[in-house]
Chain A
Amino acid sequence: MPSPRTPVPDSADVLVRLRGVHKSFGDHVVLRDVDLDVRSGEVVVLLGASGSGKSTLCRCVNRLETIDSGEITIEGRALPSEGRELARLRADVGMVFQSFNLFGHRSVLDNITLAPVKVRGVARREAADRARELLTRVGLAHKAQAYPGELSGGQQQRVAIARALAMNPKLILFDEPTSALDPEMINEVLDVMTELAADGMTMLVVTHEMGFARRAADRVVFLDQGRILETGTPGSFFDAPRTDRARDFLSKILSH
């Protein structure tokens, strides 16, 4: 059982800062004037209806999407626009996808060591040792030589988390990490994430798993049509949402 979280103090450094972020696809506005701070060690859960811009917000943080206006900084530095600088920044920001996206032609171990070896220049031996350590941590030490296609969805997602961790990221973005999983596999992934949160990893998590949000989040941010409508502690948001939109959203989610 992971240890209970100690709240992140207000004085902790802001790791990611979004200011006045706007983003549209064509004339479809997806993010409107978004301000958000994620402090070091903080776990922020992003909630919102389908199409509200949660994925886009996540993807803007490591610049898989570019923004139209506003500013995003990580550790006070603006996101580099391209090239080597951008690659270096991305190496420091982990990302876990709904569809796992493991490299199909490589073993589980290689999936985890590829980026440290090729992007960071870590020695293969050292990377492999670390990968085994991480596999043990996510409970998959015995699958090091398996191929992604031989694993269940839950196992693949745990490997994907280990792959992100192998880069020692400052922050990990999770975009609906359990939405593609069969119900019986959701908890094995959420347990790993809860442990990460307890260990002080900074996390920005898009999820509909309210149990996880209550248990692990410092803060819940509610997006509606690309705008942040509410932000607060999980307790205050779930028990006493202030806006009709949030109440409406919660009643739909909880009635599932």
Chain B
Amino acid sequence: MSTIFAHGGQLAHGVLLTMLMTVLGFGCALVAGVVLAVFHISPVPPLHRLAVGYVAVFRNIPLLVWLVLFVFGLPEIGLLYPLFGTVTAAMALYWAAFICEAVRSGIRTVPPGQIEAARALGFGFSQLLRHLVLPQAVRSMVQPLGTVFIALTLNTSLAAAVGVRELTGETQFFTITYDIPIPAFAVTTAIYVLITLAGGLLTGRLERKLAFKR
């Protein structure tokens, strides 16, 4: 234990990277996922097909494979970006597919009759989304999005496999350098649990806040 605290600064840096990757990754995935979901339900066939194809490709290939492809494949074709950015981007693109599905499941909870009523009143597609569909869908999207958030947080640890010294990467370093696998991973586990618990609390609060009388 004392070894870990003696190198607290290193560990804190790992935590920081993990949190940064989580927040950036989730933020970008959220934006991309919502756009994908809108494409998915849009009346424009090419956009719909694009979204369907995207989800099929990204969701059905393991994240680790994507990370390897991005980190080692992109430089092969001459695209060289900083490691952290590359890994975060790969995560965002991967999780966007899951967020698209979470958003769509929320959209499906909006009664079709209400959508029809809005169309009959002269609402266009984007007005329909803005004023009717998304405000109602968001409430039932919070839980599935919370699940994606937790999965994303925990899976940032895969970044260690392609050389990012985030929390898990630092822990591996401790484990190898000082031969203290159990204490090192115990501390790491506690930190991951703290982050995901915070996420869980936040989704619970959000859900209560978004509740409306039915």
| Candidates B113, B116, B122, B135; contact of A87 at CB < 8 Å | B122
Interface residue B205 (Cβ < 8 Å from any Cβ of A): no
Q: A104-B136, A119-B121 are in contact. Are A97 and B116 (CB under 8 A)?
A: yes
CB distance from B208 to the nearest CB of A (A): 15
Stretch at the interface among B76-84, B124-132, B193-201: B124-132
Interface residue A115 (Cβ < 8 Å from any Cβ of B): yes
Q: A105-B135, A147-B213 are in contact. Are A87 and B114 (CB under 8 A)?
A: no
CB 8 Å contact bits of A109-125 with B (1 = contact, 0 = none): 00000110011100000
B123: A residues at CB distance < 8 A: 87, 115, 118-119
CB 8 Å contact bits of A87-101 with B (1 = contact, 0 = none): 111111111010111
Interface residue B212 (Cβ < 8 Å from any Cβ of A): yes
Question: Contact at A95–B117, with CB atoms within 8 Å?
Answer: yes
For window 89-129 of chain B, which residues contact chain A by CB distance below 8 Å? Answer: 111, 113-114, 116-124, 127
Q: A104-B111, A104-B214 are in contact. Are A84 and B121 (CB under 8 A)?
A: no
Interface residue A102 (Cβ < 8 Å from any Cβ of B): yes
Interface residue A103 (Cβ < 8 Å from any Cβ of B): yes
Q: A87-B124, A119-B127, A150-B213 are in contact. Are A101 and B119 (CB under 8 A)?
A: no
A115 and B114 CA atoms in complex are apart in Å by: 13
Question: Contact at B131–A118, with CB atoms within 8 Å?
Answer: yes
Question: Contact at B214–A62, with CB atoms within 8 Å?
Answer: no
Interface residue A22 (Cβ < 8 Å from any Cβ of B): no
CB distance from A147 to the nearest CB of B (A): 4
Interface residue A64 (Cβ < 8 Å from any Cβ of B): yes
A115 and B131 CA atoms in complex are apart in Å by: 10
Interface residue A149 (Cβ < 8 Å from any Cβ of B): yes
Interface centre among B117, B119, B121, B132, by most chain A C-beta atoms within 10 angstroms, is B121
Chain A residues with a Cβ under 8 A of chain B: 62, 64, 83-84, 87-95, 97, 99-105, 114-115, 118-120, 147-150, 160, 163-164, 167
* Selected A-B contacts with CB under 8 Å, 21 pairs: A64-B119, A87-B122, A87-B124, A88-B122, A90-B121, A91-B121, A91-B122, A94-B120, A95-B117, A95-B120, A95-B121, A97-B116, A101-B114, A101-B116, A103-B114, A104-B214, A115-B118, A115-B123, A119-B127, A147-B213, A160-B117
Q: A101-B117, A119-B122 are in contact. List 5 more A-B contacts (CB 8 A).
A: A84-B124, A103-B136, A105-B135, A115-B118, A118-B127
